A and B are shown apart, each in its own frame.
Chain A
Amino acid sequence: MKAGYRRAQPFTFQGVALDVARLAFMLVVTVLLQATLAPHVRILGASPDFTLIAVVCVGLLRGSEVGALFGFIAGLCVAVAVFGPLGLNSLVLVVVGYAAGRYAETADTSSGLAPIFVVAVSTALAEIMYTLSQFLLDRQAPFGFFFVHALLPVLVLNTLLAAPGYLVARLWLREGMGDASRPA
């Protein structure tokens, strides 16, 4: 598994349409998995965040702009599917998608560990942002509780799922605009 961002090929209408369709399908599947499967896959009291992994993969494979846009729409869809607060997931996932994309655009991501590293960092970033937002909403939790029950289990789960998730995403998005899976 090699990661590596490559600047997009010249756009064609068919290529863009195909890529959008692939991303849309990936979005729907991810949101449905997040709404239906994730609540039942509980390890250490936490569920994996399939959406975040998907957004990171899209960011790594398609760049910061697509990653941010995908994150925004995925956040809205997840909030709709699970009746969460609209906008919060979007805000977090925009930042995550953009950051993952920028990492792929600027750093050397040829190492197979890059997606795992990015997912781990993104998970930590997302959890901190969720916690800060909850703090702003006047919901507080002790740091120890947050670390043990929120951050650590999700971090472990997401990191474990990062490699297979990235593999599936790369296979699915192997062609189309801005294919980052092909080595530069």
Chain B
Amino acid sequence: MIRRRTLWRRLLVAGLVILSLAVFTLFFREQAGGALHGAQKAGASIMQPLESGVSKVIKPFRDAWNWVGGLFSARSENKRLRSELDSLRKVTTNELEIQQENAQLRGLLKITKDPIYPSGVTFVPARVIARSTDVWYSTVTINAGSSQGVRVYDAVVNSSGLVGRVTMVSSNSADVTLITDQSSWVDAEVLPGGTQGPTQGSVHGSVTGDVSMEYVDKTAALKVGQIVATSGLNNSIFVHGIPIGVVENVGRQAVEIYQTVTVKPFVDVRQLDYVMVVHK
């Protein structure tokens, strides 16, 4: 009796193992639409309503479990999210910087194709690496010097217009005196001119940062909004036609020989980054 029972038990287990192996093998060998796959799908469709029901019933327990689990992980998750936010901020900042840089470089590239620059003029791109920190000087330092072909008195421009001129050069850097500096004088003209031609003058900076156009003929009828550009006269260091700014205010006084014109520069000297040195 015992031997028969043992035999039966062994046969049963062996049969179940063989059956499992057979099902397992057939399941992997048959096509996706085979009999076993079909049976599985049919079984799943029968069990699906039950699973949905049970899932709804245990949802509160599941939520409670998740809530408790969430408490344990909240601190680490908070830390992780903060670090993720920091890295995303860095990425965003980098992205914005790259976009800005791209726009500036595209602007610089346009300068080289500008017809106002005669043939033979060479361009040296540079980046502002330092700026004067006191109110008395309005200068910046660029990362291009004599090694790159920069010379004293070269004009410095960006995509907005005239920036200033090179006043000191070392091998790999140069000092640029901006048009807002009180020592800066630029021969300029107001466009469009009248029948007598454009009105001439000299654009001059000041310690306050205001830019004015001096030595302007008192009889010239200037209007706010007219363009001020380099005149290129008298063998000027600047080529003709580099935009400087717009007329912001015109002042005439009876006792003065010249009228005073306030100019609003196109270039925002506080936000200089990429510039182009123009060597005549």
Q: Do chains A and B interact in one complex? A: yes
- Contact surface of A with B, Cβ cutoff 8 Å: 28, 31-33, 35-37, 40-42, 64-65, 68-69, 71-72, 75-77, 79-81, 83, 85-88, 90-91, 94-95, 98, 133, 137
Nearest opposing residue in chain B for A72, CB measure: B16
Interface contact A83-B44, CB-CB below 8 Å: yes
CB contact between A72 and one of B19, B47, B50 (< 8 Å): that residue: B19
- The verdict on B170 contacting chain A, using a C-beta distance below 8 Å, is no
The B interface, classified by DSSP as helix, strand, loop or mixed, is helix
Give every chain A residue within 8 A of B47 (Cβ-Cβ): 31-32, 35, 77, 80-81
- Inter-subunit contact B20/A87 (CB<8 Å): yes
Complex-state Cα separation, A37 to B54, whole angstroms:
9
Q: List B residues 1-40 near A (Cβ within 8 Å).
A: 8-9, 12-13, 16-17, 19-28, 36, 39-40
Q: Which of A40, A75, A79, A83 contacts B65 (CB 8 A)?
A: A40
Given the interface contacts A65-B9, A68-B13, A83-B40, does A36 sit within 8 Å of B20 by beta carbon? no
Partner of A65, one of B12, B21, B39, B44: B12
A87 contacts B62, C-beta separation under 8 Å:
no
Contact partners of B21 in chain A: CB under 8 A: 87, 91
Contact A86:B27 (CB < 8 A) given known A75-B20, A79-B40 = yes
Contact between B24 and A41, CB atoms less than 8 A apart:
no
Among B155-201, those with CB < 8 Å from A are: none
Q: Please tell me the size bucket of the interface on B.
A: 20 to 34
CB atoms of A81 and B44 under 8 A apart:
yes
Question: Contact between B22 and A87 (Cβ–Cβ < 8 Å)?
Answer: yes
A-side contacts of B17, CB under 8 Å: 91, 94-95
Q: How far is B20's CA from A65's CA once the two chains are assembled, in angstroms? A: 15
Q: Are B20 and A35 in contact (CB under 8 A)?
A: no
Instruction: Find B54's partner among A36, A68, A95 (CB 8 Å cutoff).
Output: A36
- In the complex, number of A-B residue pairs with CB atoms less than 8 Å apart: 90
Q: Is B121 an interface residue (CB 8 A)?
A: no
Contact B51 A72 (CB under 8 A): no
A68 engages B12 (CB within 8 Å): yes
Closest residue to B56 on the A side, CB-wise?
A36
B50 to chain A: which residues have CB within 8 Å? 28, 32
Assess the B13–A98 pair: CB atoms within 8 A: yes
Q: Which residues of B contact A32 (CB under 8 A)?
A: 47, 50-51, 54
Q: Say how far B162's CB is from chain A's closest CB, in angstroms.
A: 65
Given A32-B50, A80-B44, answer yes or no on A86-B36 (Cβ-Cβ < 8 Å): yes
Do residues B55 and A36 form an inter-chain contact, with CB atoms below 8 A? Answer: yes
A160 vs B16: C-alpha distance when bound (angstroms): 29
Q: CA A101 – CA B243 in complex, angstroms?
A: 96
Instruction: Determine how close the nearest CB of chain B comes to the CB of A49; give it in whole angstroms.
Output: 17
Question: CB distance A85 to B27 under 8 Å?
Answer: yes
Residue of A nearest to B55 (CB): A36
Which listed residue, A36, A71, A76, A86, touches B51 by the CB 8 Å rule? A36
* Distance in angstroms between the alpha carbons of A85 and B39 in the assembled complex: 12
Say yes or no: is B66 at the interface (Cβ < 8 Å to chain A). Answer: yes
Residues of B within 8 A of A69 (CB): 12, 16
Whether A72 and B20, one on each chain, are in contact in the complex, defined by CB atoms closer than 8 angstroms, is yes
Docked pose: A58 CA to B62 CA in angstroms: 26
In the bound complex, residues from chain A placing their C-beta under 8 Å from that of B44 are 80-81, 83
Whether A87 pairs with B25 at a CB distance below 8 angstroms is yes
Closest 5 CB pairs of A and B: A87-B24, A87-B23, A91-B20, A80-B43, A90-B20
Which residues on A sit within 8 Å (CB–CB) of B61? 37
Cβ 8 A contact of B13, one of A64, A87, A90, A137:
A64
Q: Smallest Cβ distance from A161 to chain B, in angstroms?
A: 13
Closest CB-CB distance, B194 to chain A, in whole Å?
A: 83
Given A65-B9, A87-B22: 20 more A-B contacts, CB < 8 Å:
A32-B47, A32-B51, A33-B58, A37-B61, A37-B62, A40-B62, A40-B66, A65-B8, A72-B19, A72-B20, A77-B43, A79-B40, A81-B43, A81-B51, A85-B28, A87-B21, A90-B16, A90-B19, A90-B23, A94-B16
